[in-house]
Amino acid sequence: MGKKSSAKKAGRPRPALSGSFDHGPAPASTDSRAVIYVLAALAALLAFIVFIPALKNGFVIWDDNVLISENRNIQSLDLGFLKRTFTSVGITTWYPLTLISLAIDYALWGDNPWGFHLTNIIFHALNTFLVFILIADIAGRGEESKTKAIIAGLVTALLFALHPLRVESVAWVAERKDVLYAFFYLLSVFAYIRYASSGRVAPYLAALFFFIVSLLSKPMAVSLPVVLLILDFYPLERLLDGGDGRRNLKKAVAEKIPFFILALLTSLLTVVTNYGGGALSGMEKNPFFARVLVAFRAHVFYLYKMLLPVNLAPFYPYPSRAEVFSLEYIGPAAVFLAVTFLSVLLVKKRKVFSAVWFYYVAAIAPVSGIVQIGEYAAANRYTYLASLGPFLIVGLLSGVFFEKLRAYSKKYIPAFLAAAFLIILCVFVNATLKEIPKWKDTMTLWSYEIELFPQKAALAYNNRGLAYYRAGDLKSAFKDYNRAIEIAPGLAQARINRGNIYRISGDPKSALADYNRAIEINPRSVEARINRGNIYGILGDFKQAIEEYNLAISMDPENAVAHYNMALTYLRTGDRGRAIAGLKTASSLGLKEAKDFLAREKL
């Protein structure tokens, strides 16, 4: 026992029990670090090249329209825009830095989707670079060989960069949130590792700063404090190591308090804004027990898609019923609980396995479905950073196999292993290249979704209907809206869209019925309120129309269309003073029609 203990101490120094923890690896040689940076750059370049076809894609009617093509706010980078960005939410969620990045793109490229896609691809390439260096650092700690660490970094980074699951995050412009938050998330991890090794304040503050910026890009970054604790467990080994492990644990947890406070505030803000916007599902619709089953299934579902990325869908519909005795749910639940139990048992003997599983669960937890936002059971984009855990295991095993096989044959067997990995990678790249064109435009995207889920794709029928509507094909649009409502009677947006067709077709009463139903489903729908106000105006009920516009403005004070429509209604009632005030407000909010009206009438 004594020899074994001494060997352990020789291989890995104990952390200091007072002052800073000093448990970093020995500095890598200049040559090995140069190799790591060169290979990381090559991996990033390959990621960029593979996603170049996305530059041919346009915007799609699924957040792209709301955030970019129909968002007047991003068309000016002034103080007013910055104020609105930090004091309002985008599609029921607060991510001001993402909106600022989109505004910068608009300033550079106008409404050309090419430039927006380019930015997404660049950030994904940068993330690939960071992943390589991070994994090489993690795998190169302790007594691990540098070759093994480089192989682990290379394999993990390439799987991360080129896997078909990445397409949704990179080829969909609105998911700028993913590539942006991940970039700062990874920088925060780098800074924290530097702090853990040195104990200096500057890297700690840098880690906290990058965490804040990541939260401003996407609330999914709330998992970081837990991930940092997992890093303390492995590979930093700052927890439960030595006789004074409890004090180490207390210090490590205390360091994360600012991170946890920020994560909690962001989580509360996300829940409140999504509830206010009608995106948060209540327990009466999706009971808690059903959500737990769906969450268990999601963790296993993503692992399956990482292993076999076929039939990847932009939208996985939420199940109508989640039953405990259904194999679809009891099977994944059993797998999840078994792996979790095994990870707990291996906490001391196989730390890397336990740390990877806990990381994966922590990364998926914010979007697992316990707090149900939207009507989807899973989303490929949620694996963007979460996939690093499983891919790290593959990378580490690749490094181990390479080293062991090289002992038997210095030439042929390692070459065979490299060839096998390249074949797998080529399969993934081929799947990725086939997946990218599916995001070419709205019609292509949602027609593909309908092929996968013809009896469940209510959202797909609605969004494709809107594409038909904008192309002037009202008959096809009406047919798709009807199908969407048939599948999901509670889909408020489909009611609004069908009401619009009734309105322009000269059937205001049918339009009013659809708007009424949409407001019953979602009383906070600003669009439905404005449209119902328009119908009241057509029917000559100006008082009721103004009331609807006022309700819309109370929910969204900076909605220029509501101010403009109300101003026109005041003009029809002869209230010129309020009409001019409304027109000026709409003009100040950037509505071109209001500016033109004021100029034309010289008001």
Q: What is the pTM of this model?
A: 0.87
Secondary structure class of 435 (helix, strand, coil): helix
* C-alpha–C-alpha distance, residues 262 and 269, integer Å: 11
Alpha helix segments (H runs only) across 488-591 = 492-504, 508-521, 526-538, 542-555, 560-573, 576-588
Instruction: Note the pLDDT of residue 243.
Output: 52
Judged against a pLDDT cut of 70, whether residue 236 lies above it is answered with yes
The mean pLDDT value for 426-443 works out to: 96
In order of 232, 236, 346, 387, the CA distances from 200 in angstroms are 16, 16, 32, 31
Take residue 405 and report the two structure tokens written for it. 């096989």
Q: How confident is the model at residue 5 (pLDDT cuts 50, 70, 90)?
A: very low
SS3 317: strand
pLDDT at 246: 65
CB 480 within 8 A of CB 462: yes
Average pLDDT on 219-236 reads: 94
Domain boundaries, the chain: 29-435, 558-603
Please tell me the predicted confidence (pLDDT) of residue 277: 52
Work out the mean pLDDT of the chain and round it to a whole number. Answer: 86
Dist CA 581 CA 585 (whole Å): 6
Q: Under 8 Å CB-to-CB from 374, ≥6 apart: which residues? A: 279, 281
Kindly indicate the confidence band of residue 244, based on its pLDDT and cuts at 50, 70 and 90. Answer: low
Angular region, 574: left φ>0, alpha ψ -120 to 50, beta rest:
left
Rounded distance, CA 36 to CA 563, Å? 57
In this prediction, residues 490-496 reach a mean pLDDT of 94
pLDDT tens per residue across span 253-305: 899 999 999 999 998 888 777 655 544 444 445 567 677 888 888 899 999 99
Length of the chain: 603
Return left, alpha or beta for 533; rule: phi > 0 is left, psi -120 to 50 is alpha, else beta. Answer: alpha
292-340 pLDDT, tens digit each: 888 888 899 999 999 999 999 999 887 766 555 567 778 888 999 999 9
Please answer whether residues 108 and 114 qualify as being in contact, where contact means their C-beta atoms are separated by less than 8 angstroms: no
Is 490's pLDDT higher than 70? yes
Whether 153 and 135 have beta carbons less than 8 Å apart is answered as yes
Residue with the bigger pLDDT between 564 and 29: it is 564
Q: Which residue in 82, 95, 101, 70 sits closest to 591, CA to CA? A: 70
Nearest residue to 467 via CA among 440, 492, 487, 488: 440
More confident residue, 25 or 375: 375
Helix (H, G, I), strand (E, B) or coil at 123: helix
- The predicted-structure confidence for 165-209, as pLDDT tens digits, reads as follows 999 999 999 999 999 999 999 999 999 999 998 889 999 999 999
SS3 call for 254? helix
Q: Is the pLDDT of residue 26 over 50?
A: no
- Overall average pLDDT of the 72-79 stretch: 82
- Cβ distance 135 to 158 under 8 Å? no
Q: Which is higher by pLDDT, 595 or 520?
A: 520
Q: Which residues, at least 6 apart from 331, have a Cβ–Cβ distance to it below 8 Å?
A: 300
Check whether 2 has a pLDDT greater than 80. no
Contact (CB, 8 A) for 125 and 45: yes
The helix/strand/coil state of 569 is: helix
